[in-house]
Structure 1
Amino acid sequence: MTIRHIRNALLAGLMLAAAPAFAEERADQVAARVGDTEILESDVAFATSFLGDPNPEATPEARKSAVVDALIDLKVVSDAALREGMENDETFKRQMAFLRQQALRQAYLTKAAAAAVTEDAVRKAYDERVAAMPVVEEVRVRHILTKDQASADTAIREIAGGTPFEEVAGRASMDDASKSKGGDLGFLTAEQLPPELGTAIAAMKAGETSAKPVATPFGLHVLKLEERRKREPPAFETVSAELRRGMEAQAVGKIIADLKASARIEKLVPDVAMPQASDDGHDHGAN
């Protein structure tokens, strides 16, 4: 990422992001000096929060150095602008007013959304989603894949004679992916199984081995149903962050709609909807 790109990212971030990092008070080390002005470690951390990762493959030191270079560049150029009195330029004042509105908007919405989407609200939404989930049964199945009826019958006789299913599968199965695991296919839903196997498994009890092989396009299968279980919903901890983001986005939409409903608004240009962008696999915004 070039200094120009980093500087542009800084300006874009200042427009669109809130500034909670300013609230942190800590002892700072000096990262750079420009004239009499010190650029502190907290300045670097604050700028980095807008830039993202300049180069994921670079070392942390290199990424930090790039951000410091961007802040030096920013300071040098902004000082030059001040010497020329550009802070009094009407275009600059308009830009600053816009940036201020953007920062206020983000700060307000962040605070309001956080207040609306509490931990209890997220937990309640999770519980409601779990309650609404359909019950999904999973079965743990072992199989021995054979090429012909004679091989399948031999495997069934060995198992009936007391040889463990896993041992016969490890020796006789043609399925290289599962034979090293005693034919274990793991937990699957009926939809994940070939329909012929799903039908056969549906009529079996846990611990039962099929009395005759089941034919599929892959060959003949000797089956063993290890167990049935109900699929557990995802743990709250694994989905709460994504759930919160969705709820906060909905909260932001409602907050804005409520504010607009209570304001006197006149839109004096035609209210024309934007067409949806077609997804053709190309990044049209790239230069």
Structure 2
Amino acid sequence: MKLTTSALIAALAFSVLPPAMAADNSVATVNGKPIKQSLYDYIAKEASSRGQAVDDNVKNVIINKLIGSELIYQEAQRTGLDKQPDYIAKEDLTRRELLVNTFLQDYIKKHPVSEADTKLAYEKYKQELGDKEYNARHILVATEAEAKDIIAQLGKGGDFAKIAKEKSKDPGSQEKGGELGWFSPAGMVKPFSDAVAKLQKGKYTTAPVQTQFGWHVIKLEDSRSTQAPSYDDVKDALQKQLQQRHLEKLLTDLRSKAKIEAPGVTIAK
């Protein structure tokens, strides 16, 4: 007969463990040191949440793994590894990260993204995506003067792809003659996408386009109509984006209320 997880855990102290161990609320002892029942309970709970049936065999596996871990743990203590500065620092960082991640998971659970907010984000996403996508090339340089010189070369019949391979500073497209492939306006910074949208097929920008990356000369290879993916297809991704924004706002709020001192360091806002 199989026991439920709760019944199995409740039965362990009375049917498997000797009376002294039951009183100490432990599942085993190793060299006189107890392995806490709470450790077993947590592992069993995690296994159950993943759909694993915690039967007698799984129980034995869990407890034997805890015993093996305890043996190594005691040996590490005997050799003094737990007293080394690097270990102490790493232990502190691990505890911090565990608590931070647990808090963030709890915060997201208590502040879920609403369906209404997700649908608003979807409408904004569709608007940014637009109804067209473009296939273009570009040449990225550091100065406006360089970009103007390239435009002059193109005006004299220069080959766009060849010039891109020679002069473009964009490592992702330089070797491909400046080719960017198909993209939506939302996939590029606004000055770039605005310039592309004004071009006719086969034409290039006759004035340099400035973005935070530098100065661009852009050539439109082709364009085509496109349709936004359905709400259901992007719902999960949109909710994750909104959750991330909520967490960023939380951190910003905490920073604004905190007194932070870090000499010689520029504190992020």
TM-score normalised per structure 1 = 0.36
Q: Which has the higher helix share?
A: 2
Taking structure 2 as the reference length, the TM-score comes to 0.38
Asked which structure has the greater CA Rg, the reply is 1
